[in-house]
Amino acid sequence: MAPEPIVPLDPKWPAMSLEQVRGALTAPGSRFEMEEIEIRGVPTRVWKNAPPTLGVLAQLARLYGERVFTIYEDERVTYDANYRAVCHLAQKLSEMGVVKGDRVALAMRNLPEWPTIFFAATSLGAIIVPLNAWWTGGELEYGLKDSGSKVLFVDAERHARLKQCYDALPDLERVVVSRCDEELGGNVSRLEVLIGTRSDWASLPDIPFPQVAVGPEDDATIFYTSGTTGNPKGALGTHRNICTNILSSGYSAGRAMLRRGEIPPAALPHKVGLLVIPLFHVTACSAALMAGIASGQTIVFMRRWDPVKAMEVIEREKVNLTGGVPTIAWQLLEHPERANHDLSSLEVISYGGAPSAPELVKRIYEEFGALPGNGWGMTETMATVTQHSGEDYLTRPTSAGQPVATADLKIMTVEGDRELPVGEVGELWARGPMIVKGYWNKPEATAETFVDGWVRTGDLAKLDEEGFLYIVDRAKDIIIRGGENIYSSEVEDVLYAFPGVMDAALIGVPHKTLGEEPVAVVHLAPGTVATEADLQDFVRERLAGFKVPVQVRFVADTLPRNANGKILKKDLRGLFVGEVAA
C-alpha cells in the first residue's frame, strides 16, 4: 500500500501496479526489452535496444535534420549542422594522430561546441575526459596529467588558467582553443580554424562518419569524482555505460505514464530543455544530454545560472524541461520577478545531487502545474540508477525512486559482510550496465569500491517493501550525538518546510562530552525574516529533541556547492569555530 500523497491525486491512480508496469514495458519485442549478457565476468541485465555506442547515437541523431539541437544566447545549431561538424572535427583529430584509446580532454563551460567535441573524439574510439571547468589551473593540470590526455580542447577562460601548465604535461601534444581573441602559436590552435564558427557548420561539406571498430564495452569516458577528500578519481566508463541512460530515462517516463493510465507514444514529441548543470558532470552529460539527443530535444545552454535570465529563457523559448539541483527550483519559486514571466510551458522540473524537501515537491506541482522529478546516481554509476517522477514522487516525496529495470540495489552493513532487511539503514550497493569499469590507474581504489559487479556507494540508505530508495546521509556526514544517530536529510527536510527557507544544511561540530552536536546553516528567501529560535522551535515540534540544531547561522547567499550540486559542508563548519562547546 502506497503512503498518503502530499497533494490530492486522481482516485483511479495507480492504474497499474509496479509489477504490471515492468512486465508491460519490458515484454519481448518492446522498446525496453532486456537481455542478460556477461560483462567482465558478471551476468548483467541490459537494454536490448540501447544504442551500442556513442557513434551510433550520433548517426541516429542526424535524422532530426534541421531541428534546432542547441541554443546558446543568439547561436542556434541544428542536428544536421552538428553532425557535419562532428565528422569534420573527427577527421582533424585523426590527422593529429588521435587513435582508439587515446585520451582527449575537454575543459569548457556549456557551449554548442562541447557536444561536438565529445562525439568527434568518441567516434574515433578515443576516451573523452570532461574536466571540471570550475577547477583551478593546478586542479586542471592534475586531471590532464592523471589521464595522460594527448589533446586538450578549452575555451578562452580555461586556456588563460592553464597556458602556463602546458609545458609541464609531457603527454599533451596539442591544445585547441575555442572563442579566443589572443595570439596563439606552437602546439596551440583555434577550433574555428579547424571547423569554422557555429554559423559555418551547416555549410560544411557532407563527409563520411569515421569508420572505426568500436564496441559497447570499449572505454569511452573518464569523468572525475567530486574530490571532496583527497585527489579526484577518474571513473572509467564504457559506451554501454553512458548509452544505458537513454533507455533508463525513457523507461522511467513510460512507468509514470502507465501508472497514470496513459499509453506512452510511439513517436516522442519535440521538447525544449533548459540545461543548467555543467556538462562535465554525469547528470548533465549522461542523463540529460544523451537522453535529450536520442529524443530530438532542443537544448538551451546558459552562460551561467541566473534566475531572472532563466525565466526570460523559459518564456522566450517555451522551455518544457529544466532543473539541476533543488536550489534552482527554490529560486524560481521564490523569486519576486516570477510573476512577471510566463512559465506555463514548464512540464517537468527535475533535480539530483542533493536531497529535496517534500515542501519543494508539493510547490512545484501546485504552483507551476509541473511534475517534479528526482533520482539517484553518482559518477561511478554514470548517473541514473533510480528515477522518481509523477504521482509516485508525490506519494513518496522523501524517496529517490525505484531502480530502473536493469539495475539492482541492496543495503549492506557498513563493513560489507551481510545484507540488511527491508527498512534498515546501511550502505547502499548498486549494480547494472551503468556501473563503470573502475578508477583510471587506481587498482587499489577500484578493488575497494567495485565488488563482483556491485559498486559500494558510501551512501547510507534504506529500501521499502516496494523497492523505493531513501537516501538518509553520506556515511561520512552522519552526526552521532551522545550515541544517537542524526541523519542530516531528515532535519534538513523539516528546515525546508519552514516558510521562506531556500537553502539549508545540517552539519556536525565537535563537542567535549557528546562527541558531536548538530548545527544548521540557512539561507532565506529575499524579504523573509526568521530567528534562530523560530527554526529551533519548528524542528522541535516535529523531531526528537536531540535532533534540534543547537545553533542556526543565517547566510546571505545560497550555500556553496561542488559541480555535482552537493553542498560543501566542510566549508560551512568554519562558521562555527570557537562558538560551539569543544
Tell me the chain's radius of gyration from C-alpha atoms. 24
Q: Could you tell me if residue 72 is inside a domain? A: no
Do 469 and 489 belong together in one domain? no
* Closest listed residue to residue 492, CA positions, set 542, 457, 529: 542
Gap between the Cα atoms of 134 and 140, Å rounded: 9
- What residues make up the domain containing 530? 480-576
Do 305 and 450 belong together in one domain? yes
Q: Could you tell me if residue 220 is inside a domain? A: no
**The amino acid at 421:** P
Give 122's contacts (C-beta < 8 A, 6+ positions apart). 53, 54, 55, 128, 214, 220, 221, 239
Q: Could you tell me if residue 224 is inside a domain? A: no
- Written as nine digits, the cell of 438 is 573502475
Do 395 and 517 belong together in one domain? no
Give 567's contacts (C-beta < 8 A, 6+ positions apart). 354, 505, 559, 560, 561
* Closest listed residue to residue 377, CA positions, set 446, 468, 452, 287: 287
Assign 324 to helix, strand or coil.
strand
Can you give the CATH number for the domain in which 190 is found? 3.40.50.980
Q: What is the DSSP letter of 46?
A: E
Do 512 and 442 belong together in one domain? no
DSSP codes joined into one string, 105-137: EEE-SS-THHHHHHHHHHHTTPEEEE--TTS-H
Gap between the Cα atoms of 371 and 369, Å rounded: 7
Contact between 344 and 376 (Cβ < 8 Å) = no
Q: Could you tell me if residue 582 is inside a domain? A: no
Q: Tell me, what's the pLDDT at 578?
A: 55
* Closest listed residue to residue 350, CA positions, set 308, 388, 298: 388
Do 289 and 319 belong together in one domain? yes
Q: Tell me, what's the pLDDT at 577?
A: 63
Q: How far is CA 494 from CA 425, 448, 501, 512, 550, in A?
A: 20, 35, 10, 27, 15
The pTM of the full predicted model, rounded to 2 decimals, is 0.88
Q: Which residues in the chain come in under a pLDDT of 50?
A: 228-229, 580-582
Contact between 467 and 494 (Cβ < 8 Å) = no
Q: Tell me, what's the pLDDT at 575?
A: 84
**β-pairing verdict for 42-47 and 34-39:** antiparallel
Do 363 and 442 belong together in one domain? yes
Helix pair angle (239-260, 18-25), 10° resolution? 130
Gap between the Cα atoms of 161 and 409, Å rounded: 41
Output b/e per residue, 224-249; b: 16+ Cβ within 10 A. Answer: bbbbeeeebbbbbbbbbbbbbbbbbb
Can you give the CATH number for the domain in which 307 is found? 3.40.50.12780
pLDDT tens digit sequence for 51-63? 999 999 999 999 9
Do 345 and 445 belong together in one domain? yes
Gap between the Cα atoms of 242 and 22, Å rounded: 22
Q: Could you tell me if residue 219 is inside a domain? A: no
Greatest CA separation for the chain: 73
Task: Report the number of distinct structural domains present in the chain.
Answer: 3
CB burial of residue 381 (10 Å; 0-12, 13-18, 19+): buried
* Closest listed residue to residue 55, CA positions, set 107, 11, 119: 119
Contact between 15 and 255 (Cβ < 8 Å) = no
Q: Tell me, what's the pLDDT at 351?
A: 84
Do 441 and 363 belong together in one domain? yes
Percent of the residues in the chain that have a pLDDT greater than 70, as a whole number: 97
Do 330 and 419 belong together in one domain? yes
Can you give the CATH number for the domain in which 489 is found? 3.30.300.30
Other CB atoms within 10 A of residue 271 CB: 18
Gap between the Cα atoms of 122 and 553, Å rounded: 47
Do 110 and 43 belong together in one domain? no
Q: Could you tell me if residue 506 is inside a domain? A: yes
Do 119 and 158 belong together in one domain? yes
pLDDT tens digit sequence for 332-358? 998 989 999 999 999 999 987 555 778
Report helix, strand and coil shares of the chain as percent, to nearest 5.
35, 25, 40
Point out the domain boundary residue: 474, 497, 530. 474
Point out the domain boundary residue: 426, 441, 474. 474
Do 535 and 438 belong together in one domain? no
Point out the domain boundary residue: 458, 474, 490. 474
